[in-house]
Amino acid sequence: MGDDPSTGGDIMNSIGKYVPTSTLSEPTWNATLLSGDIVEEVTKLKAGEENLLIYGSGQLTETLRAAGLVDEYRLLICPIVLGEGRRLFTDHTPSEFTGVTDNRTAPSGMVLLTLAKADRGGPGPAAGDVLSVTFGALADPTRRAMLSRLSNGDATVNELAGLFPAISLQAVSKHLKVLERAGLVTRGRSAQRRPAHLRAAPLVDVSAWLEHLSALLRGLA
């Protein structure tokens, strides 16, 4: 890409980029490679002061959205119909992105919509209420049993389903999706297996909150 300001090339060439990858070893185009768990990597980046943007990449966006790491969508909607295609949201429109905080229409008819999370202006759960999401996911005994199994190592949906002979494979898959959306579980990239992997960060937050509550109760005793 050239440095022509009229195309935005000068900006794209100058800004730093983070590239999730499991194959690249030599970064180019002012890039930093992210080869570890992408949810954990982005969580660390978001703790800094950078404003992180994703251009396209539906699979990556959905993974980060399910982990609660996407704060805002900016959608360019063209006034044409091309038939069926890949869905932006793989399961359903996330309830945390129901508020349109900005909308603009270009002379061509293209519409720019900005969808923000509930804690940035839209309706929904309280701001940053990650604990409620985590506790909601932990409220079901089947999901707690799945997390206990994953604490011993990664497992596929079929392997997890083997723990629950009275529950259908479809039901186990739905439970796993709930854990994914809560950021408690991530899925492997292999199309054949996609093993589930336990993420400890939300559980650490729960443990810290419970310890704080316990300290308060001891003070009242």
Instruction: Give me the CATH number covering residue 166.
Output: 1.10.10.10
Q: Are residues 137 and 119 in the same domain?
A: no
Give the count of domains, the chain. Answer: 2
Range of the domain at 201: 130-220
Q: Are residues 146 and 119 in the same domain?
A: no
Written as tens digits, the pLDDT of the chain (221 aa) is 567 666 667 777 888 889 888 888 888 888 888 888 888 888 888 776 677 888 878 788 888 887 888 888 888 888 777 777 777 766 555 556 666 777 888 888 888 888 776 544 433 334 346 788 888 889 899 999 999 999 999 998 889 999 999 888 888 888 888 898 888 998 765 545 678 899 888 888 888 888 888 888 887 76
pTM of full prediction above 0.85: no
Q: Is 41 part of any domain?
A: no
Q: Are residues 187 and 145 in the same domain?
A: yes
Q: How far apart are the first and last CA of the chain?
A: 67
Of 91, 109, 124, the last residue of a domain is 124
Q: Are residues 159 and 84 in the same domain?
A: no
Q: Are residues 84 and 165 in the same domain?
A: no
- Of 150, 143, 156, residue with least CA distance to 188: 156
Q: Are residues 173 and 206 in the same domain?
A: yes
Burial state string for 2-31 with b = 16 or more CB within 10 A and e = fewer than 16: eeeeeeeeeeeeeeeebebeeeeeeeeeee
